[in-house]
Amino acid sequence: MRVIAIDGPAGSGKSTVARAVAKRLELRYLDTGAMYRAVVFAVLRNGEDPADHEFAARTARDIELDIGLDKVMVNGVDATIEIRGPEVTRAVSVVAANADVRRELVSRQREWTERNGGGVLEGRDIGTVVFPNAELKVYLTADPEERARRRAKEVTDLDYEAVAADIARRDAFDSGRKADPLTEAVDAVIIDTTGMSIDQVVDKIERLLAAATPSEGQA
Ligand code: DC
């Protein structure tokens, strides 16, 4: 089973790169951040507080999730737009720090991968926790200013300063939490994508894979 792990902080280029790698390798792609966002969405729709540990954990266990390439369905409701909105984004770090939510979502991520015979998974803990034996682990970074610029382009209703402040807050929270903090796996290849185009990053990953995989007749 081929598993490629792509981790890194917000705005490091993970989603675009992971999608492109999946397409080139003809593997399925899973955005695990969308799963944490979906739990927040479901908690808020129930009028509950995302910081309520038990409620969030129960929601993660009961939630019906369909994370598609371009569409995210949560309990039968199209949540594609809302999971990227400011309300969910504000609350997602606290839910991602909930160890019971993590246990449930990690188990679903492993099941999804088994079911699909492998995949390209992007997140914060794929190489460290979900698939420590992945064929290739990539940790993407970029200067905080560049990451904020990229996100500000995606999120049209927020200005650069607001996005930069939000990214800094989430980075600190995601890296500082006890449960599976954002950190590079010891054997991850770190790629600083500052000033690199998507194609350059994807080409580099393809070269790394080729170098790691013996070609036919060589094995
Ligand atoms: O990649 P993103 O911005 O959609 O992720 C949303 C949040 O979920 C982010 O604050 C970190 C968290 N996350 C996580 O803790 N573990 C993952 N595997 C993926 C995302």
Q: What is the domain-level CATH number for residue 57? A: 3.40.50.300
Question: What pLDDT, on the 0 to 100 scale, is given for residue 213?
Answer: 67
Q: Do 19 and 126 fall into the same domain?
A: yes
Of 73, 89, 115, the one marking the end of a domain is 115
Does residue 24 fall inside a structural domain?
yes
Q: Do 24 and 123 fall into the same domain?
A: yes
Structure tokens at 68: 């598609």
Q: Do 123 and 192 fall into the same domain?
A: yes
Question: What pLDDT, on the 0 to 100 scale, is given for residue 156?
Answer: 66
Ligand 1, residue 37: give the atom nearest the CA: 6
Of 89, 115, 141, the one marking the end of a domain is 115
**Ranges of the chain with pLDDT below 70:** 156-157, 213-219
Radius of gyration (Cα) for the chain, nearest Å? 17
Q: Do 171 and 124 fall into the same domain?
A: yes
CB 138 within 8 A of CB 7: yes
CB 125 within 8 A of CB 182: yes
Question: What pLDDT, on the 0 to 100 scale, is given for residue 219?
Answer: 44
Does residue 67 fall inside a structural domain?
yes
State the Cα torsion 187-151-171-108 to the nearest 10°. Answer: -60
Give 53's contacts (C-beta < 8 A, 6+ positions apart). Answer: 98, 100
Does residue 215 fall inside a structural domain?
no
Question: What pLDDT, on the 0 to 100 scale, is given for residue 215?
Answer: 55
Ligand 1, residue 14: give the atom nearest the CA: 1
H-helix segments, the chain: 14-25, 32-45, 53-62, 86-96, 99-115, 144-154, 160-176, 198-212
Nearest CA to ligand 1 atom 9: 93
Does residue 23 fall inside a structural domain?
yes
Does residue 107 fall inside a structural domain?
yes
Does residue 111 fall inside a structural domain?
yes
Of 62, 97, 115, the one marking the end of a domain is 115
Question: What pLDDT, on the 0 to 100 scale, is given for residue 39?
Answer: 98
Q: Do 165 and 185 fall into the same domain?
A: yes
Residue at 180: amino acid letter: D
Q: Do 164 and 135 fall into the same domain?
A: yes
**Does the beta carbon of 93 sit less than 6 angstroms from any atom of ligand 1?**
yes
CB 141 within 8 A of CB 9: yes
State the Cα torsion 197-153-149-139 to the nearest 10°. Answer: -50
Alpha-carbon torsion 159, 67, 55, 127, what sign?
negative
Q: Do 55 and 132 fall into the same domain?
A: no
Select from 8, 208, 153, 54 the least CA-distant residue to 200. 208
**Does the beta carbon of 33 sit less than 6 angstroms from any atom of ligand 1?**
yes
The structure's pTM equals 0.93
Question: What pLDDT, on the 0 to 100 scale, is given for residue 218?
Answer: 47
Ligand 1, residue 180: give the atom nearest the CA: 15
Q: Do 3 and 79 fall into the same domain?
A: no
Q: Do 65 and 24 fall into the same domain?
A: no
Does residue 218 fall inside a structural domain?
no
**Does the beta carbon of 13 sit less than 6 angstroms from any atom of ligand 1?**
no
Q: Do 206 and 123 fall into the same domain?
A: yes
Question: What pLDDT, on the 0 to 100 scale, is given for residue 17?
Answer: 96
What is the DSSP code (8-state) at residue 48? -
- Can you tell me the distance from the alpha carbon of 154 to that of 27, in angstroms, rounded to the nearest whole number? 25
- Can you tell me the distance from the alpha carbon of 27 to that of 178, in angstroms, rounded to the nearest whole number? 32
What range defines the domain where residue 185 resides?
Answer: 1-28+119-210
Does residue 36 fall inside a structural domain?
yes
**Does the beta carbon of 9 sit less than 6 angstroms from any atom of ligand 1?**
no
- Average pLDDT over the chain, rounded to an integer: 92
Q: How far is the CA of 36 from the centre of ligand 1 (A)?
A: 6
Q: How many domains, in total, are found in the chain? A: 2
Q: How far is the CA of 214 from the centre of ligand 1 (A)?
A: 33
Q: Do 148 and 206 fall into the same domain?
A: yes
CB 54 within 8 A of CB 18: no
Q: Do 123 and 24 fall into the same domain?
A: yes
- Can you tell me the distance from the alpha carbon of 129 to that of 160, in angstroms, rounded to the nearest whole number? 32
Structure tokens at 42: 């479901």
